[in-house]
Structure 1
Amino acid sequence: MAAAALIRKLEQYDRISDAERQVLEQAVVRQRAVAKGEDLVREGDRPSESLLLITGFAARHNILRNGKRQITALHVPGDFVDLHSFLIKTMDHGVMAITPCTLGVVPHETLRAITETQPHLTRLLALHIAVDAAIHRQWLVSIGRQSAREHAAQLLCELFLRLQAVGLTEGSGFKLPLTQAELGDTLGLSTVHVNRILQGLRKEGLITWQGETVVIEDWPRLQETAEFDPTFLCLKSEPR
């Protein structure tokens, strides 16, 4: 089921009927596999379809003239990496595969039909875009006003809950296949600074991180360190 993670994510917002599940599954017309490091969407593209992340991790990013990269969003299974391209048309950023990824292709014509015939699903997909924007606001606050330690803790709390919502956590652990360089591009820090921050979180007993597996050892203290409030993720189900 190509849309299984998306359906599970949307069910965090509100109940989805069997008919709506079928609409979402049928919206994915084909699947596409991409390699780590491959562009899913490039800045300046005018997509005629939106891409649903089925497996893997992807990153939204902008690259400056000097070659430096800022990652502005991390995408996990169940996320549309460019649902907003249905409305905005010309992409002002790129999206790349952080790991090997499987994508579901949803034509914009299909999305247009959903907006015309499925008002409840339309509201849920609009909320998907709104949560993306809320995450951006939180990242802006974190990068502008939190310490590097607080910002890193905020990111780990956010990713844990987003992955938990789509069934991709095991207890208090989750896979996070990002290099320290990619974390640096996400947090706006040097690789050396990222390493120092992670070592500090480990020494404080807040997390362990071995290979690609992060385990949150003390959720209350990590949440307190980050001043983390999950309200912006809209994980409480309410009628839409």
Structure 2
Amino acid sequence: MSKLMRFDDQLNLGQAMAQEHRKSGARPSRAVLRHFPAGTTIFDVESPLSRVLFIENGWTISSKTMLNGTRIVTDFFLHGDVLSSASTSMSHETVHAVSDVNCYEFQGHMAGSGGDGGSQLPLIMTIELMKRHARIAERLASIGRRDAFGRTGHLLLELAIRAGNSARPGLDGFECPLKQSEIGDALGLSTVHVNRVLKEMRLGGLLSFRNGIVEFLNRRKLIEMVDFDPSYLADGSETAGFQDIHQS
């Protein structure tokens, strides 16, 4: 397992490849920096099947819309994550930007060969699919076995790890552009129910979610209450901060 997890570092290959591309003056088609304003649809079921995006910064959501108009949020993608139009098309999902998003786009390299970085894309995509499978499995466990409080707390703790450290000094939390309706669509809860849970957490001195900022007032206690174990997310480099909090 440890040998496999070391490959996780290659999820940053997109940025490294793009930087090398700019230095070497390689063909523009190899790696292109794309910008998607908030609200933009990035992929849908009719997207071309040869596009792979490495998210440099920003937040995106993948979702499915049922015949009755109900939307289900299937996953969140943040910096360092990988998006594939082929995967989106096969799963009949739509991916849209919930904040401004910058990505490195690679086209036509899924069957790459030789020494160029494009030949690493099949490996990177395999790892990304494994990581996404782990996230979705945990989400299913939340919906099937956790109450609304547990689901919401678990998701926000997961997003805190994936979002990384806040740029705001002294803040134990992260900037979160998600609406309460989007959180609810990911957890099978109504917006009213999510609002009620967030109010309960705030009054209980656990966390505050206001003006796009999630602030943990007592992260350790929340971790214990929802039985959060981040081992499904990635290797120790991403969860080291959690381990420090959990063990202190």
TM tier relative to shorter chain: 0.7 to 0.9
Work out which of the residue numbers 72, 83, 93 in structure 2 matches 1:81: 83
Deviating above 4 A after TM superposition, structure 1's stretches of 4 or more consecutive aligned residues are 10-16, 19-22, 114-125, 167-171
In structure 2, runs of 5+ residues without a counterpart are 22-28, 238-248
**Larger relative CO (CA 8 A, sep 6+): 1 or 2?**
1
Aligned CA distance change for structure 1 residues 196 and 15 (closer, same or farther; 3 Å): closer
Distance in 2 between the 1:102 and 1:221 partners?
35
State the shift of 1:174 in Å. 0.4
Q: 2:18·2:104 contact (CA, 8 Å) conserved in 1?
A: no
Which among 36, 52, 55 is matched to residue 53 of structure 1?
A: 55
1:95-153 CA deviation, whole Å, 9 max, x = no partner?
A: 1111222222111x224326986787754552222111100100011011100100000
Task: Give per-residue Cα distances to partners, 1:197-234, cap 9 Å, x unaligned.
Answer: 00001111111222011111212111112211111012
Distance 1:226 1:15 in 2: 29
Q: Given the superposition, is the C-alpha separation of residues 233 and 158 from structure 1 closer, same or farther in structure 2, using an over 3 Å criterion?
A: same
Gaps of 5+ in 1: 1-9
- Structure number with greater Rg is 2
Call closer, same or farther: CA 1:92–1:228 in 2, change over 3 Å: same
* Partners of 2:95 and 2:14 in 1: CA distance: 28
With 111-120 and 47-56 compared, the bigger mean Cα shift is at 111-120
Q: Is the 8 A contact 1:13 1:235 kept in 2?
A: no
Match of 2:240 in 1: none
SS at match of 2:47: coil
In structure 1, C-alpha distance between the alignment counterparts of 2:179 and 2:49, rounded to whole Å: 29
| Secondary structure, aligned partner of 1:110 | coil
The answer to whether 1:96 aligns with 2:96 is yes
Percentage identity across paired residues of the two chains:
26
CA distance in 1, matches of 2:6, 2:98: 25
The change in CA–CA distance for 1:115 and 1:182 in structure 2 (over 3 A counts) is farther
> Structure 1-normalised TM-score?
0.79
Instruction: Report the count of equivalent residues.
Output: 221
Q: Is residue 62–residue 93 contact of structure 1 (8 Å, CA) maintained in 2?
A: yes
Match for 2:139: what amino acid? W
1:186 counterpart residue number: 186
Residues in 2 aligned to 1:14 and 1:139: alpha-carbon distance in whole angstroms? 21
RMSD of aligned alpha carbons: 3.0
Q: Deviations over 1:14-33 (max 9, x none)?
A: 666xx997446449621222
State the partner residue of 2:143: 143
